[in-house]
Structure 1
Amino acid sequence: MDGHGEGSTPAKKHKKKVPGCDTVKIRKEKKENPTSDVVPKSGSYKRQRIKKEATAEQSEEQNTEDISTNLKPDKCKVRSQTKRKKRELRKPDDENIKEAEEEVEAFDTIPKHLHLWMSSHKYVGAHVSIQGGLWKAAVEAKRIGARAFGLFLGSQRTWNSKTLEEEAAEKFRKTCSELGFESRYILPHSPYLMNLGSPKPDVFEKSRVMLVRELNRCHQLGLTLYNIHPGSHVGAMPVKKCLELIADGINYAHLQVPDVTVVLENMSCQGSTVGGRFEELRGIIDHISDKSRIGVCLDTCHAFAAGHNLSEDTGLQNMLDEFNKVVGLSYLKAVHLNDSKGKVGCRLDRHENIGRGHIGVEGFRQVMNEPRFNEIPMILETPYSSGYEDHSKEIDLLYSLCA
């Protein structure tokens, strides 16, 4: 039985059902003339299939140059073709810069305390997103009224990252130049996974490789500073040995990449992290071969949590005097501006918006009027919260504290 019913003669009935539908002949004719409308006289399924194949082949010959010529183009194909066409007709970098400036001008970026902003020797900014491309970080910094900015150079939560293409690097350099950001006021931040002080050989080696890759990115982007958290001994080795490992990783990276200065961030003394005490920062610096390429970034929240009471009138003065005595002010390259959710000496790394934490507005008044913080990047890393959807208000607040 072949499904044609009892008593039928299958061969004859089969021939009668598909008269003129010689598939071998059709395929041969289609091969010779793929755009021909060779359609069987019956059999709707085959007729639709052949018509569809002919349309697809015709579409391929047109090479998507004129989408409008397709009678009923597939929407997904049209979108894909449009995107490809846009990539092929990508604007020159100069036009991209112009577009970035126009995007910035669409926002109200003028601080309320413009006269203080213009006359100040303080370069306040914020850590900004790189979503949409590294160059977008400069655009966002300009939009919020920043004079400096921090950023990640890739994903901060993975050991591996894509190679930075030269086209993207050039676009970043040109955008920063056009928008007025000098490299000395841009402070990239290391990924959170990096631990140059790890007692685990595999983590230590991956951290060294990551640091070299990140410094290479800085060099490619024309940046001269790179901020890292020193590391953690995770309770498995003496602090002194941990400091030596960190210095070894930095020395190794310095030999691989020229020009970029590694900036050690002071920590909050939380857990087994090192760098919360100035003596630990000095211990790392002592083992660095090229001391012209090492520096320190002072984080206000971390310092407060480690026991430096910046909320007091003399708190900042006392901290900087100690820093100068132990480390040396010549190594001070940057500041991270963060209020603290925790109380002084709590050892908790919990950032809070300026004026909403235990350091308070008066503590930051001391910071903004401290001449030893002149001419270095001062980067906000505060959370987005109610009333602080971006960092523009905090930047304006800080400049309003300038005497």
Structure 2
Amino acid sequence: MTGFRQALGEIAEQGPPVGGMAERAIARARRRRLGLFAAPGATVTAALVSVIVLVANGVLSGGGEREGTMRLGATQTVTSMGRTPEPLPARGVPAVMMAYTVTCPGAGPRWQACSQWRLVTTDMRQFRVDDAIAPEVRDGSLEHQGALAVAADGRRVAYFRSDGRFVIRDLARGGVESPFAVKRADLREVTAHIAWSPDGRRLSVSFDPADDDRPTTLAARLVDLKTMATVTLPLHCCVLGLPAGDAPIPMYDAYATEVGRGSLLLVGDDGAVRRRLPIGEIERSSVFSRHPGNTAVAADGTRLAALLWPDRPPDDRGHHVYVPELTTFDVARGAMTRRHALPRFQQVMGEAELLGWRDAATVLVGMRYERRGVYRVNADTGETHQVVGLTAQPERLSVAYGLL
């Protein structure tokens, strides 16, 4: 634990204030060794110029790729040029390939005034989302991470507004829906996770308590995106991703039971639990990650991908550095099927996050400190290559996983 604390301190020196979050993470790590959550969103520290480099993808596809997806091509760069982008127009915005938050160095009112969500479109323009809740600072520590997620096709975004209303925006046509609201004060006590199904049929919002000693009363919600009807789900956290159609929704609460006794819940559109799968084998083989964003379910609902951190002794300097493993889980059989070590992502625990399944064989992994960027990883072979590079340090990041 001493090494873990030292490692968190090293991270803190490179980024925005995270003192409160780090202390909570250490406390939670003592209770639980596994985090199986899905989380879009990100924070990027903006000192002078924030630059996003599309390392391998920069050309819009033709031929066999899906319309609007990115394929290998010339490098392209999106830069904020050290100035604030234009506000998001009410309509007429092309598909968005990613969203991130910008935070300024330091703390206090000036830091808070600079915090904002930004969208990057497929034609490399950037827009700020003024009414989306962005990261918040309290007593010099980052207390709230904000919540915004991009749909798989990049045509819609969903987020919490500053008044607590949850809104879904159609970027091209300009429609805005608001299926429910929560108290703003309650949002400060949780990390909200928004998940889109790949077919755009449904959306979920779940809530991870910021402090495990203060459980939230906010229940996870499932939204039918055609009717905007909402259903209460059986746990406050966490939806591990939404498959297409009416395939069961995987949910897991890392703090509900002792390690080795946990269950994966498969939940229907009506909120009823259809099946419980024991996942003690996975729990016993990994360590807790302080950052949610470790799982994603395939579009057909048959496979669950998870980033796991096998327990390893500290290095010669006493630091706990981990080589994450990409594990696939057969939902029907309730068993692990493949495990691939990802040495390219050797890290302090919690740096990587799983952003979604790009297709039936490929997942997207985001790195937030060293080797910053987004990577495609073949779930069958473990082969990895980078598709987006980030020169600034992200904390929350959302991508249109059907486009990258």
TM-score, normalisation: structure 2: 0.29
Q: Which has the higher contact order (CA 8 A, sep 6+)?
A: 2
Structure holding more strand per residue: 2
Higher helix share: 1
